[in-house]
Structure 1
Amino acid sequence: MSNTPDTRPSGEDELIDKAPETIAEGVDEEVVESNRRLYTGWQWLLFATLAIVYATFHLVSLNVYPMETWSFRIVHIAGALILGYGLFAGTRFAGEGDTTRSPAWLDWVCYALLIPAGYALVQVFLMQQAIGGGAMRIEPNIEAWHFGYPLIFATTAAILISWGYRQVREKLPPADLVLMVCALAVAGYLILIYNTPLRASTGTAFAPIGISYAALAGSLLILELTRRVAGLALVIISALFLAYVFAGPYLPGFLGYPGLSFNRFFSQVYTDAGILGPTTAVSSTYIILFIIFAAFLQASKVGDYFVNFAFAAAGRARGGPAKVSIFASGLMGMINGTSAGNVVSTGSLTIPLMKKVGYPGRSAGAIEAAASTGGQIMPPIMGAGAFIMAEVTGIPYTEIAVSALIPAILYFLSVYCMVDFEAARKGMRGMRKDEIPLFSKLVKQVYLFAPIIILIAALFMGYSVIRAGTLATASAAVVSWISPNKMGIREILKALQLAGNMSIQIIAVCACAGLIVGVISLTGVGARFSSLLLGVAGVSQLLALFFAMCISILLGMGMPTTAAYAVAASVVAPGLINIGIQPLVAHFFVFYFAVVSAITPPVALASYAAAGISGDNAMGTSVASFKIGLAAFIVPFMFYYSPAMLMEGSWMQILRVGVTATLGIVLLAATVQAWFFGPVKVWMRLVMLLGAMFMIYGGIYTDIAGLAIGGGLFMLQRGSHGGGAKPVASG
């Protein structure tokens, strides 16, 4: 099972001379979406400046001049809406000479919509003057006829027109200009009202009707931007939850509830009970800060270095590119918060190389999807979900990061063993020395890891997440000065612009998830689901956990991790806590299944992205990635049966569970791939699966039984194959 021996020792120096300096290039390049506008001239300068100002605003507000909390979150969402509608089109672009380009008269219709949108914005200034002059509140008729109706009309009409509006990629259509003005009007009104005593009236019959109109328009703007940047899945789920608000009173059984009026619901949904709640709290602080950190790392080409480092470290092992994808995706997961984004950034390089050494396209795509999904559970950043978990549970972020360590190791070990056993079974080679960068050269630039090390050190020294993130961001710029990619003023501004652009998707998704969370909290559907789960647990706790797993995956399908976890944490986690599971265990259980929804058929975003690169069938790739990432579907149950897996317990318990679970994961991978130290017969696979389950369960007696089975199989395989076996098939 060793690597193919080097039969040319005399050419060693020649191979070293031929070794490339780097393999990975362009990993850090900004991904331009198909519906992203590409401006030139003054328009490019305008939106680049807006993105820089937006990112800088957050750095200043978080570190120097803090704003009032609700106002800060409203500006945070409004800025993303304005940037988002400026950069992302509502439909595909028209090509050159395309006769389906929208007619000129439609432009004038959109320009006409600027009148009601602008009128609503002007009314905000007039209301501000009235309140500044001593008025206690604005007349309801004025709020409705002079602000609410014009705003709703302009927002709805512009969104509908934008669905069919086709123009060139370099031009901002007037329909989206209308939506940008509407976003300003919504933000201006809400900031005005929420900074008066009227803020306390939200959710009551005394709330100004204008809040409801602003919240409705704001919700429509958030839903439409989410559709443009994240697809329809989250929008459809949000629409179903919104429909439940008004249809709930007519539903039978545990889904029924007394009902909420239009004013009571919408006057409260754009507060910290909904859109301005935990998801936006996290996106406006931790997430935006780490997006800026990631942008600075990208600007200094750290992503290229990470991937090249992974090639140098693991490229020569059998099935080398597959193992590189595991290491590279784990490293990129620290600076890239989405599974599909991880696939695109590293998979475009690793998938073709995996195919080159013998992996079928389906396996190559599946390995990359499974490895990239693991980036979401890799400490210290763990995507955005860890920050939301800290916000929701009140558990310190550092404690969550430490708790995630053993599960993350088990997941990546499982994927590694799956890859290694498949490579051994198919007789795959590693990459040659002249195909990978020299480790001795790359290790001289190991200082590029310094920003991440500084981040981790600062967090565990007791710095707040915001201070630690800001320090790490500054260190990324400083470290670049001794690297080949120095960051001057131009590069720093470029990084801030990149951060502003990168933040749009995650902010829209978090705001949209906040809308769902608002429906759950205001209608009480989460509590009714908890009572249902409690009833199931009365029959069997394992059945209740399985039911919770299915709901978490179902809620997460087709959704980014952040939104998937936020929604599942609101619906499922309280029910798990009610049946006696510790809050940390319950939230990690939900978080893991929200993450692996990215590789769970039939809707698996990461697998679909990988299939697009590998050229294989998307559904086949998602099934294969589900098999490779199988450990991720078992590990959460280990949290329940062995809380020591999350560092809950004595060091002896943690050590025992960690070691036996590791051995169990290896046996599980061997069972799936039908290879251990050689081919594994059917009866041996069944015994191996039993031993794996025993050790994964974590009890003292089951651990002993599992170790006995594993030891017996080890001796049997070593005796049969003498420590190695010829592959059963050639790659």
Structure 2
Amino acid sequence: MTDPGKAAQHEDLVIAEGVDEEPIEPNRRIFEGRGFIFISAVSTIYAFFHIAALNGLGISALTGGLVQIPYLPEFPMETWNFRIVHIAGALGLGFMLFAGRGFADSRDDETRMMEYIAWALMVPALMSLGVALSFAVEIANGVAWNGIDAGIQFKETWLYGLPLMIATAGGILLSWFNKRERTYIAAVDFVLTVCAISVAAYLITIYGTLMRNSTGTPFAPIGISIAAVAGALLIMELTRRVAGLALVVIALVFLVYVFAGQYLPGFLKSPAVTWERFFSQVYTDAGILGPTTAVSSTYIILFIIFAAFLQASKVGDYFVNFAFAAAGRARGGPAKVAIFASGLMGMINGTSAGNVVATGSLTIPLMKKVGYHKKVAGAIEAGASTGGQIMPPIMGAGAFIMAEITGIPYTEIALAAVIPAILYFLSIFFMVDFEAAKMGMRGMRDDELPKVRNMIKRVYLFVPIIILIAALFMGYSVIRAGTLAIVAAAVVSWLTPFRMGPKSIIKAFDMAGVMSIQIIAVCACAGIIVGVISLTGVGARFSNLLLGLAGVSQLLALFFAMCISILLGMGMPTTAAYAVAASVVAPGLVELDIPPLTAHFFVFYYAVVSAITPPVALASYAAAGISGANAMETSVASFKIGFAAFVVPFMFFYNSALLMDGTVLEIGRALLTASVGVFLLAAGVQGWFLGGRTVWFLRIGLVIAALFMIEGGLITDLIGIGAAAAVFLIQRFIHPSDGSTIPVRGAD
């Protein structure tokens, strides 16, 4: 008989716990006492500010105009001002949370000396802020501001600009050497925070006059250029702290190109431009305040808040447990759980590497337990987590960036993403399943898994996502739909043990503020690159290069576009990778008469899979850190696991029905043949076909059959099916000598 106690314990079995816990980065400060309260308050206010601004929840609006507080912003804010505050807030919060280098065990004499230098730098930082505020007072009192008055130029250069640059450059350099205990904010980071506020105060003041129209002309005040230089330096420094050097190096290369391009040959040659003219324009909607920041300040932070509310109510744990209940019994069960769970979590998470950390800490050890090699376990999680970025309806916020850049309605983009996402996850699933079959793996036992019926009882936890999808397709704005989903997450939590009261809601906003820093920094840094591309015209010249290649071979042009998209995406989170690649590559594809939606999906797909492409594969590196495998070996294995996925963009290029462009019959046939093609390609790569190992020449035959199926024509489909049938018959009746069949062990 079954022990009732054990049965009850099994009923409540929880595989996933702590999936929703926020990972702590190595250079992130951990505060206690008053420091903790201060940082939590700043983070909470910063996140709530965005909800208020996006929904017009100012004090005046909430009180019907009865209460008005001077100097507080009224909502909705003017667009540029909102984006400037958005970046400045992330910079300030980021510098206080993330150290410029490692932490000290104690305060030694060297550290004290650096702190004295840092406090000395606070003097010019505060001076620049004070002068910026004095400009606001002067303009409010009727002073006519312009960029050619000698007196104004003197104030902007020597009273505002010089102190700002001394504090900014000196603070950044000092932060590379200064170490402080982990529970304290280094003095130099307070200096950089003041510099960020000074940049924002000046730009909001000056852009509030007619000077906004003078950017990029000789009439632009010199202060705009100096503030932009300081702002760009601060953005790149924070990006280095939260995302590493890869994106910073790329941004620096593009900035050098601005001034060195006039000396380069061929299509790389660009017109000469002065630093004043360039920087007066780069901190506008042509660059830093452009599409990347537009999306990070609206859609991305909105869905980060949504994700934080889901975390606070432990819905992420439920997602992973649901995946275990649904897929854990299949052979190699934890690997298939990783595919399912990472798809659910990853569509909300804006970074592939962050998704690996969230779900991989659970799935990777379990994959190793059932027999996967540690590098393969890491590779599977990296591939699955990366796929979450192309999973509609959110696509790691990629859908909203694409809508912002292309002008194509969000609903059309989300629908078009369905089949490519299915094909991606099918390819990963087949690769994982064939790997498990070759190794004779079993699934997990019933007593290792949560009960399906218990998971079904709590399926209401999907309600916030269902409300989000329904609201979007009912025509609500993304902001309104996202806000409704956030409210729904709080309401649904009352049906769980993790009810969200005022403390939990404040904690969720606090988490959102912290979670948003990395993506805001990289989007702003990507904005620098986008600004260089748009202001130098290199994107148009690259388009001409693609046109020239297409004259030789359209396939060659697409292959070149694929390589550039992957190269530009290496080392970047998805949103930044796509934004940069969309600026460089997508216009060239559109020039080839490729529909804009197809061109941008092509670029987006490869920008996403750059996270598992050696040698710089962020998702693979994150997975290797959890699995204990070599990082490069894991990235090579993840490339193999995701190999079939690299063909998918060429599939929807040659067959637009895969992007929902066609009749129901055409779309259904395209999905069926493409799915078969992905199956055959995975079988050829893994060397396992219909229950047995496959010799090398039959593997080549399977790959060829897959490529014919992928093309999408009736004749090519028939050829592909015929080739696959021939491989099956040879394997079944001739039994090539080096083939073998290993029986698969079932679940114990």
Query: Of 305, 308, 316, which aligns to 1:303?
Result: 316
2:296 maps to 1:283:
yes
2:496 maps to 1:483:
yes
2:230 maps to 1:230:
no
Q: Note the 1:234-249 alignment, pairs <5 A.
A: 234-249=247-262
Q: Note the 1:263-412 alignment, pairs <5 A.
A: 263-412=276-425
2:55 maps to 1:63:
yes
Secondary structure of 1:318's counterpart equals coil
Counterpart residue identity of residue 29, structure 2: R
Aligned twin of 2:118: 110
Query: Measured at CA, do residues 635 and 649 of structure 1 come closer, stay the same or move farther in structure 2, by a change above 3 Å?
Result: same
Counterpart residue identity of residue 40, structure 1: E
What are the superposed Cα offsets for residues 385-418 of structure 1, whole Å, 9 maximum, x if unpaired? 2211110000011111110100100110111111
Aligned twin of 2:549: 536
Aligned twin of 2:86: 76
Q: TM-score, normalised by structure 1?
A: 0.96
Aligned twin of 2:742: 727
Aligned twin of 1:126: 134
Counterpart residue identity of residue 440, structure 2: G
2:701 maps to 1:687:
yes
2:50 maps to 1:53:
no
What are the superposed Cα offsets for residues 603-658 of structure 1, whole Å, 9 maximum, x if unpaired? 11111111111111111111111111012210011121111111112222111111
| CA distance in 1: counterparts of 2:360 and 2:450, whole angstroms | 18
What are the superposed Cα offsets for residues 12-36 of structure 1, whole Å, 9 maximum, x if unpaired? 9998556362011100001111111
Q: Note the 1:419-458 alignment, pairs <5 A.
A: 419-458=432-471
Q: Is the 8 A contact 1:37 1:171 kept in 2?
A: yes
| CA distance in 2: counterparts of 1:213 and 1:679, whole angstroms | 65
| CA distance in 2: counterparts of 1:525 and 1:394, whole angstroms | 22
Query: Of 143, 157, 161, which aligns to 1:135?
Result: 143
Query: Of 30, 48, 64, which aligns to 1:38?
Result: 30
Secondary structure of 2:648's counterpart equals helix
Query: Of 703, 707, 711, which aligns to 2:721?
Result: 707
TM-aligned CA deviation for residue 682 of structure 1: 2.4
Query: Of 642, 666, 681, which aligns to 1:653?
Result: 666
Q: Is the 8 A contact 2:214 2:220 kept in 1?
A: yes
Q: Is the 8 A contact 1:273 1:521 kept in 2?
A: yes
TM-aligned CA deviation for residue 720 of structure 1: 8.2
| CA distance in 2: counterparts of 1:102 and 1:28, whole angstroms | 40
Counterpart residue identity of residue 128, structure 2: A
Query: Measured at CA, do residues 15 and 659 of structure 1 come closer, stay the same or move farther in structure 2, by a change above 3 Å?
Result: farther
Secondary structure of 2:395's counterpart equals coil
Aligned twin of 2:525: 512
| CA distance in 1: counterparts of 2:672 and 2:5, whole angstroms | 43
Q: Is the 8 A contact 1:78 1:187 kept in 2?
A: yes
| CA distance in 1: counterparts of 2:212 and 2:457, whole angstroms | 57
Aligned twin of 2:712: 698
Q: Is the 8 A contact 1:35 1:88 kept in 2?
A: yes
Counterpart residue identity of residue 703, structure 1: D
TM-aligned CA deviation for residue 11 of structure 1: 6.8
Query: Of 6, 10, 13, which aligns to 1:21?
Result: 13
Aligned-residue RMSD, C-alpha: 1.8
Counterpart residue identity of residue 721, structure 2: L
2:525 maps to 1:525:
no
Counterpart residue identity of residue 554, structure 1: L
| CA distance in 2: counterparts of 1:475 and 1:337, whole angstroms | 21
TM-aligned CA deviation for residue 240 of structure 1: 0.4
Q: Is the 8 A contact 1:259 1:523 kept in 2?
A: no
Q: Is the 8 A contact 2:440 2:742 kept in 1?
A: yes
TM-aligned CA deviation for residue 236 of structure 1: 0.3
TM-aligned CA deviation for residue 335 of structure 1: 2.3
Counterpart residue identity of residue 42, structure 2: L
Aligned twin of 1:494: 507
Aligned twin of 1:87: 97
Secondary structure of 1:427's counterpart equals coil
2:649 maps to 1:639:
no
TM-aligned CA deviation for residue 719 of structure 1: 6.8
Q: Is the 8 A contact 1:117 1:150 kept in 2?
A: yes
TM-aligned CA deviation for residue 105 of structure 1: 2.0
| CA distance in 1: counterparts of 2:744 and 2:332, whole angstroms | 14
Using the aligned pairs only, state the percent identity.
66
Counterpart residue identity of residue 31, structure 1: P
What are the superposed Cα offsets for residues 429-487 of structure 1, whole Å, 9 maximum, x if unpaired? 11111111111112111100000011011111111111110000000000001112110
| CA distance in 1: counterparts of 2:741 and 2:263, whole angstroms | 66
| CA distance in 2: counterparts of 1:708 and 1:720, whole angstroms | 17
Aligned twin of 1:148: 161
Counterpart residue identity of residue 77, structure 1: I
Counterpart residue identity of residue 88, structure 1: F
Secondary structure of 2:495's counterpart equals coil
Secondary structure of 1:164's counterpart equals coil
| CA distance in 1: counterparts of 2:744 and 2:326, whole angstroms | 27
Q: Is the 8 A contact 2:694 2:740 kept in 1?
A: no
What are the superposed Cα offsets for residues 171-222 of structure 1, whole Å, 9 maximum, x if unpaired? 1111010101111110000000111111111100000001001111100100
2:641 maps to 1:628:
yes
Aligned twin of 1:4: none
Q: TM-score, normalised by structure 2?
A: 0.94
| CA distance in 1: counterparts of 2:344 and 2:262, whole angstroms | 49
Counterpart residue identity of residue 497, structure 1: D
2:593 maps to 1:580:
yes
Counterpart residue identity of residue 661, structure 1: A
TM-aligned CA deviation for residue 424 of structure 1: 1.3
Query: Measured at CA, do residues 536 and 13 of structure 1 come closer, stay the same or move farther in structure 2, by a change above 3 Å?
Result: farther
Aligned twin of 1:220: 233
Q: Which has the higher mean CA deviation after the structures are superposed, 683-692 or 566-575?
A: 683-692
TM-aligned CA deviation for residue 730 of structure 1: 8.6
Aligned twin of 1:418: 431
| CA distance in 2: counterparts of 1:353 and 1:103, whole angstroms | 44
Q: Is the 8 A contact 1:18 1:434 kept in 2?
A: no
2:616 maps to 1:564:
no
Aligned twin of 2:608: 595
| CA distance in 2: counterparts of 1:14 and 1:141, whole angstroms | 81
TM-aligned CA deviation for residue 103 of structure 1: 2.9
Counterpart residue identity of residue 93, structure 2: L
| CA distance in 2: counterparts of 1:295 and 1:595, whole angstroms | 23
Query: Measured at CA, do residues 683 and 18 of structure 1 come closer, stay the same or move farther in structure 2, by a change above 3 Å?
Result: farther
| CA distance in 1: counterparts of 2:431 and 2:675, whole angstroms | 13
Secondary structure of 2:499's counterpart equals coil
TM-aligned CA deviation for residue 384 of structure 1: 2.5
| CA distance in 2: counterparts of 1:294 and 1:352, whole angstroms | 25
Counterpart residue identity of residue 727, structure 1: I
| CA distance in 1: counterparts of 2:133 and 2:685, whole angstroms | 65
| CA distance in 1: counterparts of 2:537 and 2:38, whole angstroms | 44
TM-aligned CA deviation for residue 728 of structure 1: 6.9
Q: Any stretches of 5+ residues in structure 2 without a counterpart?
A: 57-74, 147-151
